[in-house]
Amino acid sequence: MQSTLRVVLGDQLSPAIAALADIDAERDVVLMAEVQAECTYVKHHAQKLVLVLAAMRHFAQALQARGVRVDYVRLDDPANTHTLRGEVQRAAARHALARVVATEPGEWRVAEDMRCWQALLGGIEVEIRDDARFFCRIQDFIAWARGRKTLRMEFFYRDMRRRHGLLMEGGEPVGGRWNFDAENRKALPKTVRPPKIPAFPPDGITRDVIALVNARFPDHVGSTDGFSWPVTAAQARVALEDFIAHRLPQFGDWQDAMKTGAPFLFHALISTSINLGLLDPREVCEAAEQVFRDGQAPLNAVEGFIRQILGWREYVRGLYWLHMPGFGQQNYLKATRPLPAFYWTGETPMNCLRQAIGDTIAHAYAHHIQRLMITGNFALLAGIDPAAVDDWYMAVYADAYEWVEMPNTRGMALFADGGIVGSKPYAASGAYINRMSDYCKTCAYDVKDAVGPRACPFNFLYWDFFARHRQVLGGNIRLAMPLRTLERMDVGKVSRMREKARAFLDSE
Ligand SMILES: Cc1cc2nc3c(=O)[nH]c(=O)nc-3n(C[C@H](O)[C@H](O)[C@H](O)COP(=O)(O)OP(=O)(O)OC[C@H]3O[C@@H](n4cnc5c(N)ncnc54)[C@H](O)[C@@H]3O)c2cc1C
Ligand code: SF4
């Protein structure tokens, strides 16, 4: 009896994934494989490895409980070839196959590999299906992009709101506006205490994976200690419900705030689950809309949250596939410095970086503004090589997959794409960090100073950045203000700041 091999990748853990859509439980086999190549192409954070492998094992168990035959290859299987293609080939030899069905992957390099499978399998038909877990299919994004001069997220987002009817009333946006972002940039008052987040202590399956990861990947960043990410769809739903009930109402107000010792604040902590397939983005957005309709969360919070998922998440995915493989080569500002060693340890006197990197190493998580305006902003101002920055973000965050990491890193944070994702670089001096966080209060540097012995590095790096790139950024109307300020600045002060920047960067 010939069967279909249904390949499920580690970030495709949804029962409704396209590869399983028409499964015949009697005849078909699901292949899931833990392979070294995927665990090591960057040195992923120990908690990310535990998360993906534990979620895969739980998902396989859930499929088996439904009577589905799962051919599950473990990392410590002596026959494991440790590549996806090797495991598909071995599975083809184990089972009498009529065809192979897979769902399109989230990374270009895996998509390229999949294109070779049919030839490797001696002509057994390989069908690669669209990933229907997104609101916008890749072809639909490409059609939307065709003929447009600029691909601004805001216009894409409005289209998506209309198309999917989220937060709409009679063809118009609820509340009469598409975007409430201006209301979502408040600093966190001292008196506001972020709520506790739910914990998901490891069960037996996850404890086995923790032991495996500790034994096999001791040189990867971070530790498995305190691992508490949701690894099943049921846990992910609990995490979502907790966010909706306790943090969503204030999500908008404090979305951009940063606070020492409070890595999660009012954020959702659901990117790991959505990216793995444990949560469906539709279910997430509909749940958020419902609490607004029930009067339990304000519009600025719910719109701000839905925009992140229906807007940003879909938009960066579309841009990734539209521009790959070229996206991975973009380096508009010709940045070449190596990544400073402190990115891997957090050991720097710059308190903002110490906090953001410390949170990252401890939890494989930092929230958006820490990623964008602290670690990303520093890498932008310092001119760090985008490839090194990409590798760092891919390695350290539990939610990192190239389709979502690269446009955020190269595009949003580094402006290496020359303005595809954002219309200007998100460059900021210490004043922004001081406004949005409590980090500067206990820092060794003085955030108000740009030239003295205790000058905040973000200040002199900020002006050095604009001085360095004034030619290439000069035509950008959105940068007219900082560039004009730079022109009017005392020449001696500018050269002192540039000298400080040079000395500082050379010492890192
Ligand atoms: C330099 C940089 C690198 C990033 N790398 C990743 C990454 O590898 N993986 C990843 O999932 N996100 C990435 N992001 C986006 C964002 O920072 C994370 O999705 C978010 O911090 C996850 O935490 P949360 O679930 O608490 O999100 P919340 O702040 O609560 O937001 C809710 C959800 O919106 C989505 N979202 C928000 N912003 C974005 C965005 N810019 N792009 C895509 N989705 C978004 C996520 O699914 C997130 O779970 C990156 C951002 C930057 C600036
Ligand atoms: S003073 Fe400068 S380096 Fe220190 S925390 Fe503030 S912004 Fe960061």
Using the mean position of ligand 2's atoms as its centre, give its distance from the Cα of residue 384 in Å.
Answer: 19
Sequential pLDDT tens for the chain (508 residues): 689 999 999 999 999 999 999 999 999 999 999 999 999 999 999 999 999 999 999 999 999 999 999 999 999 999 999 999 999 999 999 998 999 999 999 999 999 999 999 999 998 999 999 999 999 999 999 999 998 988 999 999 999 999 999 999 999 999 999 999 888 888 888 888 899 999 999 999 999 999 999 999 999 999 999 999 999 999 999 999 999 999 999 998 999 999 999 999 999 999 999 999 999 999 999 999 999 999 999 999 999 999 999 999 999 999 999 999 999 999 999 999 999 999 999 999 999 999 999 999 999 999 999 999 999 999 999 999 999 999 999 999 999 999 999 999 999 999 999 999 999 999 999 999 999 999 999 999 999 999 999 999 999 999 999 999 999 999 999 999 999 999 999 999 999 999 999 999 999 8
CA dihedral for 44, 34, 240, 136, sign (positive or negative): positive
The separation between CA 245 and the C-alpha centre of its own chain, rounded to angstroms, equals 24
- pLDDT tens for each residue of 23-49: 999 999 999 999 999 999 999 999 999
Token look-up 């990867």 returns 220
**374 in contact with ligand 2, CB cutoff 6 A:** no
**194 in contact with ligand 2, CB cutoff 6 A:** no
Is 232 buried (19+), middle (13-18) or exposed (0-12) by CB count in 10 A?
buried
* 8 A C-beta contact, residue 422 and residue 416: no
Testing ligand 1's pocket by substitution, the residue of 154, 368, 369 carrying the most ligand atoms inside 8 A of its CB is 368
Testing ligand 2's pocket by substitution, the residue of 447, 451, 454, 461 carrying the most ligand atoms inside 8 A of its CB is 447
Using the mean position of ligand 2's atoms as its centre, give its distance from the Cα of residue 180 in Å.
Answer: 29
**14 in contact with ligand 2, CB cutoff 6 A:** no
- pLDDT tens for each residue of 348-404: 999 999 999 999 999 999 999 999 999 999 999 999 999 999 999 999 999 999 999
- pLDDT tens for each residue of 431-467: 999 999 999 999 999 999 999 999 999 999 999 999 9
**141 in contact with ligand 2, CB cutoff 6 A:** no
Phi and psi of 250, rounded to 5°? -105, 0
Output the CA–CA distances (angstroms, integers) from residue 478 to 198, 413, 452, 475, 483, in the order listed.
42, 16, 29, 9, 10
**348 in contact with ligand 1, CB cutoff 6 A:** no
Token look-up 């069960």 returns 203
Query: What is the pTM assigned to this prediction?
Result: 0.97
